């Protein structure tokens, strides 16, 4: 099973990296995440001071990256399964001994790897910018933690929602329309989690940001509602759990489409 999954992931990635859209989003996201946290955007003395904090800078970088990528990830990932149907490849895949679980998990993993690669310029670039502008070394740990608690959970959720939503709706544009509205309310309209409820239910990474990386959390001016680490943890748990449920539903959906389960139901009915 692992070898087959590995093979699908490899070729899915290859196709993804050959797509122009991927590189446009890669450049856009890299530029955005590198530009937003620089002192050019925060000219005040206190902001410059924050810039010295590796934790604040890491949080700000991934906050910017998340704002963009929670939207654009959907465009990169959504049609990965539907595309096989649109390209008329689905039947030759389904007539092979590849299980629905292998197929869906491999597609999902490839999506996650391609989305993760987009954060590399930020992880490498921000320390370089800081060194160039301030002449001080940046500790990489906050960036890696921000990557793990802000970027990855958001991408896990958006990727599973996009793959599942589009496959169920059988239409990528329809999904983009609905997702665009969800994204607007989650990441723009309610950008800052101002209550415990909002802290628990969001996929923009704002809970982790407010709990671990915000100026408030780091002891600067109180400019943001402070989310407790427990609430942020609950948010992460819910994102991962809901994503897991969506992927499980997708695997079941794909399995049903391949008819084997359906067949037994038919046989039963015909015998009655």
Which stretches of the chain bind another protein, using CB under 8 A?
3-4, 7-8, 11, 14-15, 18-19, 87-89, 91-99, 258-260, 262-264, 266-267, 270
Give CA–CA dist 234/153, Å, rounded: 12
Tell me whether residue 221 or residue 270 sits nearer to another protein (CB atom): 270
Please state the closest distance from residue 269 (CB atom) to another protein, in A.
8
User: Least distance from C-beta 3 to another protein, angstroms?
Assistant: 4
Distance CA 75, CA 73 (A): 5
Distances (CA, A) of 202 to 70, 96, 168, 194, 199: 11, 39, 22, 11, 7
CA distances from 259 to 58, 100, 167, 265, 272 (A): 48, 11, 16, 10, 20
CA 37 to chain centre: 20
- Shortest distance in whole angstroms from residue 191 CB to another protein: 36
Q: How far is the CB of 90 from another protein (least distance, A)?
A: 9
CB 35 within 8 A of CB 41: yes
Provide, rounded to whole angstroms, the least separation between the CB of residue 166 and another protein.
Answer: 18
Closer residue to another protein, CB minimum distance, 93 or 124: 93
**In this complex, which beta carbon is closest to another protein, that of residue 7 or of residue 177?**
7
Pick the closer one to another protein by CB: 19 or 116.
19
For tokens 């067949």, the residue is 263
d(CA 259, CA 181): 34
Distance of closest approach, residue 89 Cβ to another protein, in angstroms: 5
Q: Is the Cβ–Cβ distance between 203 and 157 less than 8 Å?
A: yes
Residue closer to another protein by CB (options 54, 90) is 90
8 A C-beta contact, residue 243 and residue 154: no
* Cβ at position 23, least distance to another protein in Å: 13
Nearer Cβ to another protein (229/260): 260
CA nearest neighbour of 46 among 218, 164, 263 = 218
Q: What crossing angle do the helices spanning 54-77 and 20-35 adopt, rounded to 10°? A: 160
Residue (9 or 246) nearer to another protein, CB: 9
């Amino acid at each position: 099973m692992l070898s087959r999954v590995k093979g699908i992931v490899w070729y899915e990635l290859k196709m993804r990296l050959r797509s122009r859209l991927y590189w446009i989003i890669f450049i856009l996201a890299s530029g955005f995440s590198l530009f937003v946290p620089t002192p050019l955007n925060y000219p005040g003395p206190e902001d410059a001071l924050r810039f010295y904090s590796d934790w604040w800078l890491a949080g700000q970088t991934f906050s910017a990256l998340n704002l963009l990528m929670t939207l654009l990830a959907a465009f990169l990932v959504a049609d990965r399964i539907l595309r096989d149907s649109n390209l008329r490849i689905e039947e030759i895949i389904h007539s092979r001994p590849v299980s629905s679980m292998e197929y869906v998990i491999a597609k999902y993993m490839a999506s996650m790897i391609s989305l993760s690669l987009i954060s590399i310029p930020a992880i490498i670039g921000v320390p370089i910018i800081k060194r160039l502008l301030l002449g001080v070394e940046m500790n990489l740990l906050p960036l890696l933690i921000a990557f793990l608690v802000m970027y990855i959970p958001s991408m896990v959720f958006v990727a599973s929602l996009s793959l599942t939503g589009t496959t169920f709706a059988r239409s990528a544009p329809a999904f983009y329309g609905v997702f665009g509205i969800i994204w607007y309310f989650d990441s723009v309209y309610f950008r800052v989690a101002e209550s415990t409820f909002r802290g628990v239910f969001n996929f923009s990474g704002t809970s982790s940001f407010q709990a671990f990386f915000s100026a408030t959390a780091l002891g600067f001016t109180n400019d943001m509602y402070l989310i407790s680490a427990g609430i942020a943890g609950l948010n992460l748990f819910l994102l991962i759990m809901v994503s897991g449920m969506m992927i499980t539903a997708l695997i079941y959906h794909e399995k049903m489409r391949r008819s084997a389960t359906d067949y037994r139901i038919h046989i039963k009915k015909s015998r009655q």
